[in-house]
Chains A and B, each alone.
Chain A
C-alpha cells in the first residue's frame, strides 16, 4: 500500500468531500494560495476556486460565526483555525452558538460544520502556539472531537467529520504533518466512537490519544524487553468515547495508564481515568495513572519544553511500577 503524509491525507479528504458535495467549502486565514502555514490545503484553491476556498481577514470569531450561519442554512463549512490556541477566540461562536443550536431549537436547526485545528508542543512555539485544548471542547455537549493519530486516521476521520450533521472539532498534531503512514487509495471512512487496539497485551493497558499513541507504542516496545506485556489503545475520538473497548481491555490487564498531550489537570486523561475507575473498579489491581502535559504554560526553551510532554521512557517507567505493585498512594 502507498504511504502518504498526514498533511496529504487531510488534503485528500477535503478534496474528495468537496468533489462529492458542493455544499462543502473551506474558510479560514490563508487557506487558499498560501495553503495554511503547514501547507495542508495547498492546491485546493486551484481545483475549487476562491468561491469555495475562502481566505478571510484575521478575524477568528468572525469567520467562525459566518460558518455557523452558513451551516444553519444548508452549507457544510470546514473552518480552518490556524492554531489550536485560537480556540479561545472562537469559544462563543463554537460553544454558545454551534454546539447548542440543535438542542435549543428543539431539533429544528442543525450546524454541520468542521473546525479543523491543531495541538501539540515541542515545536519551540512557546505558550500561545503550543497548547492542546481538546478537553475544553470535549467538555461541551453538542460538539464531537476527533484526534487523528496518523495519516490513516486523519483521512478517515476528516471524511466522517465532513459528513456528520453536527459540529465536529478535529485536532491534528502539528508535529505529525510530515509523518507518513499507509493510506489506501480507495475510499474509506472511520466511524466516530470506535477505538483501535493497536497492540494486544496482558499486563497493562496504555491509552494514548493523537501523537501520544506513538509514545505508548514506543513504551510498549520497551516494556516487552522487560517481560511486561502492554496493550495499546487509540480512542481516535474522545467525544464520543469508545468506553467499551477501553473497559474491556482494562478488565483483562487490570492496570491502565492514560496518556494525552492536554494539561493533566481536569483533562482528557482525568476523564478517561475516571470512567475506568468508575466502571472497572473491581477489576483494577493498581491505580489508574494519568499522564498529561505538565500543568505549566508551555515554555519556549527546548531544555524546558521537552520536560512538559510525556515520553515513552516515562510511560514505560510508570507501567513497570504499577505492574510491580509499587505503592502509588498519597498517605
Chain B
C-alpha cells in the first residue's frame, strides 16, 4: 500500500506551510529518514524526512504552494513500477504563496506581478470625516440615571442644557430644572366626594391623600415604579411619600397643601414640578407649576388631569 506524504504540522497554531523545494523527484528512491522536501513555516525553513522506504510518486503540489497541514502532497510507493500509476498534475503555486516565490527555484512570474500590483498600486481608501458638530449639539454630560429618567419622562436634556442648566445633569435636576421660567396649569374640582371621605374616616390625612393621588397619577402617566412625592409643609419641613421612598434627589414632584389657608395656589421660583392644592368652599384648586423643558406641556396636562380625576373620585384611587 502506498504511504501518504502529508504536509506536516510542525508547531502550534500552524495552519499551513509553503513547499520551498522538493529535494527528490517523482520516481526517486527514498529511504526512511531521508529529507524529501523543504518547507517554510511562520518560523523557519526545515527539511522534512521520508517516513517510510520506497519511491516518491504522485507529487501533487508545486514548489511555492502554500498547503494546509495534514493535506496529502505526495505518495511513497513500494515499487518503481507503481510510480507511473500514481502520477498526477501538481497544484500550481497559488497567488497567496507569492511571498515565498522568490526563494523557490522556478517562480511563476505572472502571479507574483499580480500580487505585487495589488499590494502597492491599489490606493488605500481615504475616509472623509464629517465636520465637527457645534459644541451645543455634542454629548450631554448627564448621569446614567438622569438619562434614563429623562427618557422615561420624555424630557429633552438638550433643551435643558440649551436653556442654561449646567452640566453634569443629575436626577434631581430633572425636577428642579429652573430654566426658561415656569408654566402653570390650573383646575377647579368638586370637593364633595373627597370631603365626605375625609369626614367618614378620622384617620385619613388630607395631605397624604393628595400625595398618594399625585404619585399614582405619575406612575400611570409615566409607566414607572419610581414616584416619590416631596411634601413641603407650611412650616418649611419636607417629608417624603411614600415614607421609605427615594431621597429628594429622586422625588418626582413637590406638593404644597394650602387648604388650611385662604390661599389658592403656589408656583415656586426655584423651578421643579410643584403641585399646590387650595380649598374654596366646595371646590379644590389644583395648580401644577412646571418647566416645559423638563415636563412637556402635553405630559403636564395628562398628569394634572389624572390627579384631578382622582380628587374628583377618590374611591377609585383608594381601590
**Chain A residues within an 8 Å CB radius of B172:** 325
A329 to B145, Cβ gap below 8 A?
no
- From 127 to 174 in chain B, residues with beta carbon under 8 angstroms from any chain A beta carbon are 141, 143-148, 167-168, 170-173
Chain B's closest residue to A277 (CB) is B144
Bound Cα distance A203, B167 (Å): 20
Task: Label chain A's interface by main secondary structure.
Answer: loop
B247 touches A282 (CB 8 A): no
Cβ of B25 under 8 Å from chain A:
no
Which residues on A sit within 8 Å (CB–CB) of B115? none
Residue of A nearest to B143 (CB): A285
Q: How far is the CB of A326 from chain B (nearest CB, A)?
A: 8
Q: Residue of A at shortest CB range from B173?
A: A325
Interface residue tally for chain B (C-beta within 8 Å)? 17
Interface size on A, residues (CB 8 A): 13
Q: Are A282 and B144 in contact (CB under 8 A)?
A: yes
Report B15 CB to chain A, min CB distance, Å.
26
B141 and A285 within 8 A (CB): no
Residues in chain B near residue A229, CB distance under 8 A: 247
Q: Do the beta carbons of B144 and A284 come within 8 Å of each other?
A: yes
Which chain B residue shows the least CB distance to A283?
A: B145
Contact assessment for B247 and A284 in the assembled complex, using a CB-CB cutoff below 8 Å: no
B interface secondary structure, majority: helix
Q: CB-defined interface of B236-267 with A at 8 Å, one 1/0 digit per residue?
A: 00000000001101100000000000000000
State in angstroms the CA–CA spacing of A71 and B170 once bound together. 54
Proximity bits, B262-277, A CB within 8 Å = 1, else 0? 0000000000000000
Complex CA distance for A329 and B168, rounded to whole angstroms: 9
Chain B residues closer than 8 Å to A329, beta-carbon distance: 141, 168
**Chain B residues, CB < 8 A from A303:** none
CA distance A285 to B250 in the complex (A): 10
Pick the residue among A202, A281, A285 that contacts B171 (CB under 8 A). Answer: A285
Chain B contacts for A283, CB-based, 8 A: 144-145, 148
User: Closest 7 CB pairs between A and B?
Assistant: A285-B145, A285-B143, A282-B148, A325-B170, A284-B144, A281-B144, A285-B171
- Listed in ascending order, the chain A residues whose CB lies under 8 Å from chain B are 202-203, 229, 254, 281-286, 325, 327, 329
Known: A254-B143, A284-B143, A285-B170. 4 other contacts (CB 8 A): A202-B246, A203-B247, A283-B145, A285-B144
Can you report 20 residue pairs joining A to B where beta carbons are below 8 Å apart? A202-B247, A229-B247, A254-B171, A254-B250, A281-B144, A282-B147, A283-B144, A283-B145, A285-B144, A285-B145, A285-B146, A285-B170, A285-B171, A325-B168, A325-B170, A325-B173, A327-B167, A327-B168, A329-B141, A329-B168
